[in-house]
Chain A
Amino acid sequence: MTTPSRLDNQQMAQRVFQELRPGSAVALGSGLPGLVAGQARPGSQILFLSEGGGLGYQASAATAGQGQTVVDSGGQGVDLIPGGSMLSTIDVAALVRGGYAGVVVLQPAQVSAQGDFSHWTTAATPGLFSPGWAWDLANGPGRVIAIMGHTRADGSANIVSQCTLPVDGAGCVDIIITDVAVLRVGEEGLVLEEVAPGWQAGDVTAITGAPLILASNLREMSFEPVVAEPPNKVYSSGLAAIHDLPQGATIMIDGFAGLGGMPNYLMVALRDHGVGGLTLISNTAGVARVIGFGTPPGRLAIDHSILVDNHQIKKAVASFPVSPSPSRPSSFELALQRGEVEVEVVPQGTLAERIRAGAAGVAAFYTPTAAGTQLADGKETRVFDGKEYVLEEALRADFCLIRGYKADTLGNVVYKGTSRNFNSVMAPAARITIIEVDQVVEPGELDPEEIVTPGVYIDRIVLRPPDFLGYE
């Protein structure tokens, strides 16, 4: 009897690729996962993320070491695809912890029947046990795919009942793709779902160190890429983009001072959409309308006030909820005096930091801002190195309406001047983020080094009509 042949690394990578869907970020660890980027096809729009900061890359067309400035998680040179962008280590960490890498691919040395794993670099550094980035990836919210040899060179099993190597993450692995099989980590144990061509279930069971449950639809692995249409993010109008924004939602809307950086067109759409009971998180609760800030005489700036006047706002979480001028009270201020709305005042830097925490998967932080003031009333305080700090919790929203200058159709955004303000910090902090821009361009038209908000954070794009004015 001859032993059936095992898959080569490229075939394993092809099988992993079948699990991926266009439009989301897929984080690839070092080792075998690096091969998955080589499976990308033009237009597949899978945005591979490397520890080296490339978001949206493919295997390099150039000879290794020849001029590539972007590296994958294993340090190999790669090329950004049109619409790719560059991130720093802290940006990568925030993206992964914030749940924006929907899938992560790792190479464990061992996986247990419960989905515990030990990373190959942990196995390769006895006594030091360094999982590196794999720890962050596996313990983040993304679905975890393991790509690995089914056995070691000496024939011993890598899929085991209990890990014998130090565990880098417990219960993390969701699916295991090896050179002989595909296994799913189920509630009741490991489920054998697919076998490599020529392999029988019994062949796989014989070289596995844990019991396997045979799937009712056990099948042979295939390697053809699954074709899926990338999501279309460009919407025809503001109303179309916010059609499903529900009653009672928590929304973030950017704005600083006057006309710069407010999504005025989306604000009008939200007014026309008409839902109420909204909690608004924003820098101001609408002061441009009363202060003017460059609005032509006789015209009124379109700001958050139009939503207050339309009785859509229940509560504002803001730094400047009221007008700076007592003689010119804002709509929100008047509604507050009438007892129609609630307010939570948050110092501006704390507001930005709370939103950033929400985006980056940080639950809370200690800040010195507001310690010893009324704004700290009822909040936990703590002394570090003789200085008092206030515990502040993260903020997230259901919907976020922001304003950019240019977006490509993947949602990569650049801003212009002060209009950046809260936009870039809010964009990653909502379930659905909608951006209003002055120009929509094709992927590749924005310099990847200059993209401020990567497209993974943007769900919907609306072109602000060229004749639309930020006042009425």
Chain B
Amino acid sequence: MSDPRENSGSTVAKGKVYPSPEAALADITQGATVLIGGFAGRGRPEGLLRALVSNGVDGLTCICQGAWPQSPEIMDVAELIANGQVRKLIAPLGFYSGSGGPVAAFWQSGEMDVETVPPGVLAERLRAGGAGLAGVFLPAAPSDRFLGGKEVRRFGDRDFVFESALRADFALLRAEEADTLGNLIYRGSQRNWNPVMAMAGRVSIAEVSLVHEPGGIDPEAVITPGIFVNRVVLQAD
């Protein structure tokens, strides 16, 4: 992959604005690691997920809050899994046992790994990746189930565990409004994972309800600066 921080220069895109979710995802390759925003149905990039399903690329590692099969009309990470495209799911709450549907089935059959991570640790690892750090020392919890052989070191009067920085090939984001430079604002709980994933994605793609010309968003209100966003697609809610 060429330098992902550069705009792709695609002939179909106008600057960062792509004509469709499919076009914005055209260069995703087998085995890619993908960050996907969303919490409890808010801030989930449904158009991009649909495009990823129709793209059919597989062997993906998906990092997200979780995959919850819901009603067929709601596009969720679960649909990607049901389509056999996900090799590994890294999530704080991958799915609920008993209502996991295809997610549980792929996990139980061994076709997909699920790694459980505390959301605060995952968020900090992504932030470190986005901020150019190699890793951070986070408080170690007593009898920590998530320690797994990581380095533990004492600072002051307590133990901390080394957590390495995390980046991903793609970040699929949902925001309310963007400008053509990729500056983003969110609405309510839509914000959730999206800002930190925008930082950590090598190619960050934001799906939004409205695209402004630069200057159309109050600069004091921008939450994700456009420098973190490589591609924008307009997609009605």
| Interfacial residues, chain A to chain B (CB-CB below 8 A) | 50-54, 68-71, 74-75, 86-90, 92-94, 96-97, 116, 121, 124-133, 135-136, 138-140, 166-171, 353, 357, 360-368, 382, 384, 387, 389, 393-394, 414-416, 447, 449-450
A361-B121 Cα distance, complex, nearest whole Å: 11
Which residue from chain A places its CB closest to the CB of B196 in the assembled complex? A90
Q: Which of A88, A97, A138, A170 has the most CB of B within 10 A?
A: A88
Q: Is there an interface contact between A70 and B189, defined as CB atoms closer than 8 Å?
A: yes
Chain A residue at minimal CB-CB distance from B107? A128
8 Å CB contact of A353 from B94, B133, B185, B221 = B133
Residue from A71, A97, A169, A366 in contact with B40 in the complex, judged by beta carbons closer than 8 Å: A71
Q: Which residue on chain A has the smallest CB distance to residue B197? A: A89
**Contact between chains at B139 and A139 (CB < 8 Å):** yes
- Inter-chain CA distance A140–B223, complex, in Å, is 26
Q: Which 4 A-B pairs have the closest CB atoms?
A: A69-B188, A75-B40, A136-B120, A93-B120
A124 x B119 contact (CB < 8 A): no
Q: Which of B12-20, B140-148, B206-214 contacts A (4 or more CB under 8 A)?
A: B140-148
Contact of B39 among A51, A167, A368, A393 (CB under 8 A): A51
List residues of chain B with CB within 8 A of the CB of A133: 92, 118-120
In the bound assembly, the distance between CA atoms of A96 and B191 in angstroms comes to: 18
Q: Separation in Å of the B66 CB from the closest CB of chain A?
A: 8
B123 with A167: CB separation less than 8 A: no
Output the least CB separation between A262 and chain B (Å). Answer: 19
Residue among A93, A124, A382 with max Cβ neighbours from chain B (10 Å): A93
A69 and B116 within 8 A (CB) = no
Q: A364-B137, A365-B136 are in contact. Are A124 and B188 (CB under 8 A)?
A: no
The reply on B11 being an interface residue by CB < 8 A is no
Q: A88-B196, A130-B92, A132-B92 are in contact. Are A69 and B137 (CB under 8 A)?
A: no
Q: A125-B95, A363-B139 are in contact. List 4 more A-B contacts (CB 8 A).
A: A87-B191, A90-B124, A362-B137, A367-B132
- Render B160-192 as a binary contact track against A, CB cut-off 8 A, 1 for contact: 100010000000000000000000011111111
Residues of B bordering A, CB below 8 Å: 39-42, 66, 91-98, 107, 114, 116, 118-121, 123-124, 126-128, 131-139, 141-146, 153, 155-156, 160, 164, 185-196, 218, 220-221, 223
Contact A126 B97 (CB under 8 A): yes
From the candidates A125, A362, A384, name the one contacting B136 in the complex (CB within 8 A).
Answer: A362
Residues of A within 8 A of B98 (CB): 124
Q: Are A71 and B160 in touch, CB under 8 angstroms?
A: no
Residues on B with C-beta less than 8 A from A138 are 141
Nearest-CB residue, chain B, relative to A357:
B136
Residue of A nearest to B156 (CB): A363
> Within the assembled complex, what's the spacing in Å between the Cα atoms of A447 and B218?
12
Q: In chain A, what residue has the closest Cβ to B92?
A: A132
Which residue on A lies nearest to B118, using beta carbons? A135
Which one of B91, B93, B120, B137 lies within 8 Å of A363 (CB-CB)? Answer: B137
Residues A53 and B191 in contact, CB atoms below 8 Å apart: yes
Q: Report yes or no: B39 in contact with A52, Cβ–Cβ below 8 A.
A: yes
Alpha-carbon distance A366/B132, docked complex (angstroms)? 9
A contact residues around B97 at 8 Å (CB): 124-128
* Nearest A-chain residue to B194, judged by Cβ: A88
Residues from chain B with a CB closer than 8 A to the CB of A168 are 145
* Chain B residue at minimal CB-CB distance from A414: B220
Q: Are A52 and B189 in contact (CB under 8 A)?
A: yes
Q: State the CA gap A125–B120 with chains docked (Å).
A: 20
Given contacts A53-B189, A129-B116, A139-B141, contact A353 B196 (CB under 8 A): no
Question: Are B136 and A130 closer than 8 Å at their CB atoms?
Answer: no
For A135, what are the chain B residues with a Cβ–Cβ distance below 8 Å?
118, 120, 141, 146
CB of A52 within 8 A of CB of B155, answer no
A170 touches B141 (CB 8 A): yes
Task: Determine if A88 and B192 form an interchain contact, defined as CB atoms under 8 angstroms apart.
Answer: yes
Chain B residues with CB below 8 A from A171, complex form = 142
Residue pair A361, B143 in contact (C-beta under 8 Å):
no
B191 touches A90 (CB 8 A): no
Most buried by B among A71, A116, A361, A414: A71
Question: What chain B residues lie within 8 Å of A170 (beta carbons)?
Answer: 141-143
Q: B114 and A97: CB pair below 8 A?
A: no
A93 adjacent to B123 (CB under 8 Å): yes
User: How many Å lie between the Cα of A450 and that of B221 in the bound state?
Assistant: 5
Q: Which residue of B lies closest to A384 (CB)?
A: B134
* B114 CB to nearest chain A CB (Å): 6
Please tell me which one of the listed residues A68, A75, A136, A393 contacts residue B118 in the complex, with CB atoms under 8 A apart. A136
Most chain-A Cβ atoms within 10 A of its Cβ — which of B118, B155, B218?
A: B118
Q: Please give, as numbers and ranges, the residues of chain B lying within 8 Å of A387 by CB-CB distance.
A: 134
| Cβ-defined contact, A75 with B41, below 8 A | yes
Contact between chains at B42 and A52 (CB < 8 Å)? yes
Q: Which of B95, B124, B193 meets A88, CB within 8 Å?
A: B193
User: From B190, which residue of chain A is reached at the shortest CB distance?
Assistant: A69
9 contacts between A and B (CB under 8 A): A71-B41, A71-B188, A88-B186, A88-B193, A90-B126, A93-B123, A139-B139, A167-B143, A368-B134
